[in-house]
Amino acid sequence: MQRIWEIAQAHRQMPGALLPMLHALQDEFRYVPDEAVAVIASTLNLSRAEVHGVISFYHHFRRHAPGRHVVQICRAEACQSMGAAALEAHAKHMLGCDYHETSADNAVTLEPVYCLGNCACGPSMVVDDEVVGRVDTATFDAYLQELRGTTREAS
Ligand code: FES
């Protein structure tokens, strides 16, 4: 809670403080904890419903802690034209989960993303903070094998 308060205080004077605050919270905790909603609401003089509304509007914000790693697959048009649909079907099959879910071994949370600015090299994905282009099923499997054998360093 202390860290949530500190982040809220550090961002309260910014113009349009809500979004920077949510980004900072997610950067810190890898998701926006439920406990933060009341703190944000009181800091910015908003209702909890307003804060919840913004968190749920933006798919970027997570409501729950993700797995050890996060893989985001681009679903935007350029990547779709290069085979992203087959890639995402393969990813869901290999992970045994859908978007916004985590594999049973807690290794990977799968998320959709809509354009990474890497359109010329589609299909694209992000593995934690690394943008990867021209991803086929073999590339995905190689990353997955690595991710399942490693743990994310504590941040
Ligand atoms: S459409 Fe996928 S990176 Fe732009």
153 has a pLDDT exceeding 80: no
Cα-to-centroid distance, 126 and ligand 1 (Å): 11
Q: Which of 124, 125, 132 to mutate to test the pocket of ligand 1 (most atoms within 8 A of CB)?
A: 124
Q: Residue 49 Cα, ligand 1 centroid: separation in angstroms? A: 33
The pair of structure tokens assigned to 72 is: 């985001």
Sketch out the chain's domains with CATH numbers: 2-57 (no CATH), 69-148 (3.40.30.10)
Could you tell me which residues come within 8 angstroms of residue 93 by beta carbon, excluding any fewer than 6 positions away?
none
Ligand 1 centre from 71 Cα, in Å?
A: 15
- Regarding the beta carbon of 115 and ligand 1, being less than 6 Å apart is answered yes
Any ligand 1 atom below 6 A from CB of 33: no
- pLDDT at residue number 52: 96
With the most atoms of ligand 1 within 8 angstroms of its CB, the residue from 73, 75, 79 to mutate is 79
Find the mean pLDDT for residues 36-57.
96
Q: Does the pLDDT of residue 152 top 50, yes or no?
A: no
Mean pLDDT of the chain: 93
- At residue 70, the 3 state secondary structure works out as strand
Q: Say yes or no to pLDDT of 155 above 60.
A: no
Q: Tell me the average pLDDT across 45-55.
A: 96
pLDDT tens string 72-108: 999 999 999 999 999 999 999 999 999 999 999 999 9
